[in-house]
Structure 1
C-alpha cells in the first residue's frame, strides 16, 4: 500500500476529501468528509469534556486532623495540679497518623496496633528510632497486623476519626499518669505513648510488639532512658 501524507487540514485519500482539525478551549474537534458517508463530526477527544469523566474512578479522600492534645478518659485528673503536662508535637503527630492508619486498614476503631503504626510513621521520635534499631519496622508491623486481623472488608469505610478502643485510651492515660508521677517538667513524649501501649498486655499492639521481639527488658531500657534528667523527644 502506498504511503499517504497527512496534514492538519487534509488527507490525500480519494474517499476522505477533507479532514479538519480544530483546537479550542473545550478540546479537540475533528470532522471527516467522505464521498460515501458525507461529513462525520467527532468531538469526544477533550480531556475536559464531561463525556469521559465517568471513566475515572473517584477515590474516597483520606485525611487526618491534628489537634493540640490527645483524648483522656480522666479530664479532672490534671485540673488540680499546678503544671499540666503537655503532649509533645511528635506524640500528637503520631496519634494523628494512627487515626489515618486505622482508616487504611478499614478498622472501625483506633486500637493499640494503630498507635504503634503512628509512632513508626512519624519516624523522627526517639521511640520510633528505638524500635527500628531493634528491628521493628513499619512493614513488619503491618505484616503482623494482617496476620491478626486478616484482610479487611473491601466495601467497609472507617469513620473520619475512628474512636479509641478502651486499650488505646488506657495507653494514653498511662502515659499521662507516668509523666505526672515523675514530677519532672517537660512534655509527654512518644516514648511514654509506646510504653503505655506495651502495658496493655491483651491488646493487639502488645501482641505485635512481642511477636517482633520487643519485651519487658527493652521496655525497662526505654523507661530508664526517659527518666534521665534532661531527656527530650528529639534525643
Structure 2
C-alpha cells in the first residue's frame, strides 16, 4: 500500500473509529472511580432507619479531637433553597453536603442529618453529617461517582454563598483540587478571608446509602472528613 503521511494515517484512524472497524479508546488523566458497588448484596437501609446510622456527639468529638461537641439543627429531607443563592449552584456540593442542586432529580428516597460543633454562637468546628438513601446500591454508587466528577469540574473555582435577607451575608471560598480513592471522593476548600479556615468534604456509599459529610474549621483536613464517613459506614449492616 506504500507509506502514508502522518496526516493520512490520522485520517484513516478517525474513519475507522467512526465506522467501528477497529476498537479505539482515549486515555484520560485523573483518579480511577469505582463504578460498581462493593456491597450490592448488603441489606438495604429504609428511610425510617437512616437516623440510626449517624454518629453520637461523643463519637464525633473523639474523631475530631475536640471535646464537648454537641449536635444541633437536625434535618430530614433535602429542601430546595429558601432564598440563599450560589455563584455556581452545581459547585455548592464541593463545599457543603446534602445540597439541593446536587440531589434534586436523582430519585433519593430519604435524608437525615444534623450539625455538630462546640456550644456557643461561634463554634471552632462546624460539622454536618448526613445520610441519604437511594432505591438500591447501584443508584447510591452512581451518585457518588457523579459527585466526584462535579468536584473535579469545580476545582480551583472561586465560589460564593449568600444567605437570604435580612442577614444577606456572603461567604467566599476557593474550591481545592479533589481526590478520589476507591469509593471515597474528597475535596478541601479554603474560606477566603477566613484566617486559615477550611472546609473538607468527603462522600462515599454503603449499600443503598450515600454518606455525605463536611467539616469546617481552622484545622479541617480531608482525613477528618474521611474518618467521619468511615465511622458512619461501620453502622451500615454488611
The TM-score bracket by the shorter chain reads under 0.3
Larger strand share, 1 or 2: 2
- Normalised by the length of structure 2, the TM-score is 0.27
- Normalised by the length of structure 1, the TM-score is 0.27
Which of these two proteins has the greater Rg computed from alpha carbons?
Answer: 1
| Structure of higher RCO (CA pairs closer than 8 Å, 6+ residues apart) | 2
Larger helix share, 1 or 2: 1
